């Protein structure tokens, strides 16, 4: 159990700011960033998750509830980033001792890093594709030359902290899991709207121009929300297509061994997104940047760092947190600091027993660069309940 009683109130904040993290354990720059956000005149309330850390514009691990306004930087550039997982009928005893061949097959099927498909993959996943792609023509004029790239990146992983994993739960059941977002098109859309917001007159005197907002009833906000919701849909479809490809690889791999594989219901959760919600009779635009929705009975996914496992959770519907929970372990040091602090030898030691890359290109994703997932979970026992603890056996990184 947590050693603190949460939530605690952030001193010096403007709008009510409740934290599921101890302020003395949060970096000063992140606390200052939270105070800046809370003082925006449109902010109704701010909620801070236990994986909180400094971010660009808004703090990662924050839930910002605004009235009649939205800040595109509070969402960030990886619009719709999130998780997807599915339980299989495989058990640990079905797995080979060496998962290297399976990892190579996943990497050959799902493009990672800057790679993409030669054309949009047809996995038979999802519906409404024609209408979805037709919506591209309604996006910001500045991204109209990106449609072909967006199509080719559908069903791709990207880099950074994105991953594809094969895991087992406490009962030895095998799960497939992945983490990705809206790829380059989400970034392109976000950057154009963030820059547009900064130029608006009502944002010129803000203490941090990265917190510029669009106001309800304006064409700028209407255009942003249209593009945002499309990008969130892209992110969800991207994960679904990747999961379809991942399932295909697993099905083919075990099929050659004479084992048919079936899959259960999928769990999918955004953790960088906007939702229009109502609390205490007040209609709010809620931005979760590094936070998941945790409504009562709602399933969610909270991953750790590279190879350290994840949790499948069920929301408890705590309205104090705007029905939210953390999105993962959260970084405790920057990528630059991680590269200066850790070596490839450290990476090999910290990912022992996990089939994954163990080279200098992913040292910044080493488990030691992240907070303890167990500590993060202990701080939010009033937000979610644990359904399963997943142990990572194979991890694909960009």
**Which positions are annotated as active-site residues?**
327
Residue of 269, 225, 233 lying closest to 85 (CA atoms): 269
Q: What angle do CA 388, 374, 391 make, to 5 degrees?
A: 45
Q: Is 170 exposed, middle or buried (0-12, 13-18, 19+ CB in 10 A)?
A: exposed
The DSSP secondary-structure symbol of 375 reads H
Q: How far apart are CA 367 and CA 374, in angstroms?
A: 13
DSSP one-letter string for 24-89: GGS-HHHHHHHHHHHTSTTEEEEEEEEEEE--SSS-EEEEEEESSEE-HHHH-SSTT-EEEEEEEE
CB 333 within 8 A of CB 341: yes
CB 177 within 8 A of CB 84: yes
């Amino acid at each position: 159990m947590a050693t603190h009683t949460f939530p605690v109130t952030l001193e010096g904040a403007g709008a009510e700011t409740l934290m599921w993290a101890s302020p003395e354990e949060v970096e000063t720059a992140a606390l200052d960033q939270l105070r800046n956000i809370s003082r925006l005149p449109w902010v109704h309330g701010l909620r801070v998750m236990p994986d909180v850390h400094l971010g660009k514009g808004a703090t990662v691990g924050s839930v910002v509830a605004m009235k009649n306004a939205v800040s595109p930087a509070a969402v960030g550039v990886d619009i719709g980033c999130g998780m997807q997982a599915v339980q299989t009928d495989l058990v640990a005893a079905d797995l080979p001792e060496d998962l290297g061949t399976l990892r190579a097959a996943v990497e050959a099927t799902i493009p990672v890093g800057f790679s993409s498909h030669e054309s949009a993959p047809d996995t038979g996943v999802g519906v409404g594709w024609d209408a979805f792609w037709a919506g591209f023509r309604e996006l910001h004029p500045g991204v109209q030359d990106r449609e072909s790239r967006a199509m080719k990146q559908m069903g791709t992983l990207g880099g950074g902290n994105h991953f594809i994993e094969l895991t087992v739960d406490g009962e030895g059941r095998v799960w497939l899991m992945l983490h990705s977002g809206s790829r380059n098109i989400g970034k392109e859309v976000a950057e154009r709207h963030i820059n547009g917001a900064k130029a608006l007159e009502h944002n010129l005197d803000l203490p941090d121009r990265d917190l510029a907002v669009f106001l309800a009833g304006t064409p700028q906000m209407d255009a942003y929300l249209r593009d945002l919701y499309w990008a969130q849909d892209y992110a969800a479809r991207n994960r679904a297509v990747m999961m379809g490809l991942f399932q295909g690889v697993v099905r083919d791999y075990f099929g050659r061994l004479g084992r048919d594989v079936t899959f259960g219901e999928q769990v999918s959760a955004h953790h960088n997104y906007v939702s229009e919600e109502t609390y205490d009779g007040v209609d709010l635009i809620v931005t979760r940047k590094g936070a998941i929705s945790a409504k009562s009975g709602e399933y969610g996914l909270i991953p750790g760092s590279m190879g350290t496992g994840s949790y499948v959770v069920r929301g408890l519907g705590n309205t104090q947190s705007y029905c939210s929970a953390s999105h993962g372990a959260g970084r405790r040091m920057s990528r630059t600091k991680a590269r200066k602090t850790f070596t490839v030898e450290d990476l090999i030691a910290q990912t022992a027993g996990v089939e994954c890359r163990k080279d200098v290109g992913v040292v910044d994703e080493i488990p030691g660069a992240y907070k303890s997932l167990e500590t993060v979970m202990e701080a939010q026992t009033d937000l979610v309940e644990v359904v399963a603890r997943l142990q990572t056996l194979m991890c694909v990184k960009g």
